Amino acid sequence: MAVLIFLIKIKIKKPAVVYMLNLSIADLLFVCMLPFNIVYRFTGNNWLAGDALCHVVIAGFYFNMYCSILLITSMSVDKYLAVIYPIQSLSWRSLTRAWIVCFLIWLISISSTIPLLLTQQTFHIEKLGVTTCHDVRNEQEVGSFYLYYFSTFTAVFFFLPLVITAFCYAATIRTLSSSKMGNTERKKQAVVLAIIVLCIFVFCFGPTNLIFFVHNLQVGGGPVSQLYLGYLVCTSVSSISTTLNPLMYFVSSSKLQNFLCCKKDIAEQPASSKP
**Residue 28: pLDDT over 50:** yes
- Who contacts 10 (Cβ-Cβ below 8 Å, separation ≥6)? 17, 253, 255, 256, 259
**Residue 270: pLDDT over 60:** no
Q: Measured at the alpha carbon of residue 160, what is the angle toward residues 155 and 156, in degrees to the nearest 5?
A: 35
Class of domain 2-255: mainly alpha
**Residue 107: pLDDT over 90:** yes
* Whether the Cβ atoms of residue 235 and residue 62 lie closer than 8 Å to each other: no
**Residue 220: pLDDT over 60:** no
Please write down the HEC assignment for all residues of 127-161. Answer: CCCEEEECCCCCHHHHHCHHHHHHHHHHHHHHHHH
**Residue 51: pLDDT over 90:** no
The reported pLDDT for the residue numbered 183 is 58
Quickly state the pLDDT bin for 105 (edges 50, 70, 90): very high
The string of pLDDT tens digits covering residues 69-102 is 899 999 889 888 888 888 888 788 888 999 999 9
The reported pLDDT for the residue numbered 133 is 86
